[in-house]
Amino acid sequence: MSNGFDKEMLDGMLDSLKKFTDAHLPDTRILELDATEEFPVETIREMCNPEVLGIQLLFIPEEFEGMGGGAFDVYRVCEELARVDLGVATGVLATFLGSDPIIFGGTYEQKKLWMTRIGQEGLLMAYGATEPAAGSDLGALRTVAVPVEENGVVKGYKITGNKQWISNGGYADL
């Protein structure tokens, strides 16, 4: 991630986010969602639509058609969303967190493909860290991904382990 936005740009983004949530997630809607235990996936998808708000563009590097925001910018956006609803904040943050392995461990080609698609298509990502015996202690996780090779070429991964909570798991595109 870059060093982030200047104050004027961050304030503009937070103002746009507030206008969106005021219009799409008023208190009456939040109370209704809580009462029905419903995740507002269509609202999250609209929030990630580059034609509407494109909130995910915040954390995507500029070289992959994003805005190149920094960690503080992501924190401020998530803080603002948490003021509205923790479930909504978690739904958006899952895409931020779920893309970290691509940003920090992917090849240039993987970054270009996936970060550009996440940004331009508003794809939602799942994020699964919590395990029954480890909770949210990332250092105690037991899930393992073992490369599956065919003729000396990695064709995929066999994943073993258990997850207890996968944010966006039932709604994610990736």
Class of domain 7-127: mainly alpha
Cα–Cα distance for residue pair 35/59, rounded to 1 Å: 32
Per-residue pLDDT tens for 2-33? 578 999 999 999 999 999 999 999 999 999 99
pLDDT confidence of residue 2: 56
Per-residue pLDDT tens for 147-170? 999 999 999 999 998 888 888 888
Distance between alpha carbon 6 and the CA centroid of its chain, in Å? 22
Which sequence spans correspond to the domains of the chain? 7-127, 130-165
Residues whose CB is less than 8 angstroms from the CB of residue 43 and which lie 6 or more positions away in sequence, other chains included: 24, 25, 88
pTM of the complete model: 0.82
